[in-house]
Amino acid sequence: MSTEARSNFLKTQIQSDLDGGQVEQLVTRFPPEPNGFLHLGHAKSITVNFELARRFGGRCHLRFDDTNPEKESQVFIEAIQEDVRWLGYQWDGEVRYASSYFQQLYDWALCLIDQGLAYVCDLTAEEAREYRGSLTQPGKDSPFRSRSVAENRELFEGMRAGQFSEGSRVLRAKIDMASPNINLRDPILYRIRMAHHHQTGGQWPIYPTYDFAHGQEDAIEGVTHSICTLEFEDHRPLYDWFIEHLPVPHRPRQFEFARLNTSYTVTSKRKLKALVDSGAVAGWDDPRMPTLAGLRRRGYPPAAIRHFCEEVGTSRSDSTVDVAMLESAVRNELNDSAPRAMAVLNPLRLTLTNVPEAEQLSVANHPNNEAMGSRPVPFTSELFIDAADFREEANKKYKRLVPGKRVRLRGAYVIEADRCDHDASGAVTRVYARIIEGTLGADPEDGIKARGVIHWVSAEAGVRAEVRCYDRLFNDPNPGKNDDVMSALNPDSLRVIGDAVLEPSLVEAAPEQVYQFEREGYFVADRFDHSAERPVFNMTIGLRDTWSAANA
């Protein structure tokens, strides 16, 4: 089934709402907190909200829920916008911020106070936890719950004016301390924070909580379908309570779906930050990280990520998806879109004894797409092949170069190996071979066919490069099952090759251009470090799923 035709409960719900006239136009939103980099789990939320808006001719907003200034920054805001665009989406109108609604939220907090539905509480954080109760025990009323409307208004206005110290008071909703839903046990609406805000500066010494701001922001923006992950399902009664008791201009409805969980992956911001802070990875955009910045730097195509999210589908059942499904989507996308090139990662010198002069060969950029054209590849008497492609002795299963046997050089001639040189330790240092005349694009006339095909690069024209071979960051399929993610790290997740040899056309690669290195895998020109003077390529993914084979 195509992803366009794939159905899910959200599409069914929205179609029903449109057909029944409950809404005239769909409005969704992607509302990240600007306190970190987006990761693969966010990609699912992005695709859900933007694709639903596209499918039903609606609008999708990008809104930053920036109510926690200590952990937020403009750096994250800019990175998130770039990630959303890179993934292939553009939000409706200007970027929106919760902080733009701070005055309205403050006025609505006063509205709750005036109705006797909110009060200023002086309990310490520790005392508040004791009063809150537990999952099995009801909470008990704060001794400050009975303050008068006038006193609560005066105190809250004093909080707004900066008259009280940080942490000394909070504003709480007056709902039900005995509710089985702990979120309804007089939740905090405002707390004092003497923090500089990246949008409002020092204008506000108090900040609304996420729970108080979130639903009202949707109401202000006219969001019709507030689509959240399942962990917010228990918060929905609270959001509905606010909507019921405030003069909001619009009544959004919340729908929850299962978040994206993938094997061999951690998406906890806290645990990802620990990886960065410990030096286990080189930063938030390390190509082994599940952040969108990391996936981008590794060369994952945004189309493959979108396709993966659509293929996973949208349901209300939590499950873990095998990351091999994402890797398969990446291979499928790159198999069609990536031009081919040759690179030797473990060079062994090959001398062709009967090649008198160099020539330029024309090699197709893609075996199945003539529109991608061809490129000139210099062919000389001195080449590099991969050391794994030569053995002095081998059985019939080995389809590469052996003395007295033939292979074809990719896009070039059939050759036959004669002998080799060794160093003092016995390691092979050079192979000598002959081309079989008349085999450029043709089989040998003597009928003795090549055993296989190997790749190569001219030793004279080839370019030295750094190639970073990446693998999965974790050995454990469930690395987030405990706090000690370091114990699940794969020690072989990065191997840096400093003396790889590339065909000369690759120095012209633009940053983020992905190629299939023949017989090796897919590699991307690093978006920051690559240059013609110092080529740097990152391994995107191998040609085959070696993990599944190894664990079969």
Residues of the chain with pLDDT under 70: 1-7, 547-552
Q: Which CATH class is domain 343-455?
A: mainly beta
pLDDT of residue 548: 61
Alpha helix (H) ranges present in 87-148? Answer: 102-114, 125-132
- Give the tens place of pLDDT for each residue, 299-348: 999 999 999 999 999 999 888 999 999 999 999 999 999 999 999 999 99
Residues 215, 223: Cα–Cα separation, whole Å: 9
Give yes or no: 33 in active site.
Answer: yes
Give yes or no: 437 in active site.
Answer: no
Give yes or no: 24 in active site.
Answer: no
Token code pair at residue 310: 């659509």
pLDDT of residue 5: 43
| In CATH, 24-257 is 2.160.10.10 | no
Query: Which one of the listed residues 145, 153, 259, 519 is annotated catalytic?
Result: 259
Residues 424, 9: Cα–Cα separation, whole Å: 69
pLDDT of residue 552: 46
CA distances from 330 to 70, 300, 310 (A): 37, 6, 14
What are the φ and ψ backbone dihedral angles of 214, each rounded to 5 degrees?
-60, -55
Taking each helix axis as running N to C, give the angle between helix 102-114 and helix 210-221, from 0 to 180 degrees, rounded to the nearest 10: 110
Taking CB atoms within 8 Å and a gap of at least 24, the contacts of 139-143 are: 139/177, 139/178, 139/182, 139/185, 139/186, 140/177, 141/177, 141/186, 142/172, 142/186
Fold of 269-339+465-550: Ribosomal Protein L25; Chain P (2.40.240)
CA distances from 197 to 106, 166, 194, 202 (A): 16, 15, 9, 6
Residues 231, 254: Cα–Cα separation, whole Å: 12
* Domain pair 269-339+465-550 / 343-455, same fold: yes
Residues 67, 99: Cα–Cα separation, whole Å: 7
Domain boundaries, the chain: 24-257, 269-339+465-550, 343-455
Residues 160, 269: Cα–Cα separation, whole Å: 31
Residues 56, 24: Cα–Cα separation, whole Å: 11
Token code pair at residue 459: 């030793």
Residues 502, 474: Cα–Cα separation, whole Å: 30
Query: Which one of the listed residues 11, 33, 430, 512 is annotated catalytic?
Result: 33
Query: Which one of the listed residues 140, 269, 391, 527 is annotated catalytic?
Result: 269
Strands 118-121 and 96-97: unpaired
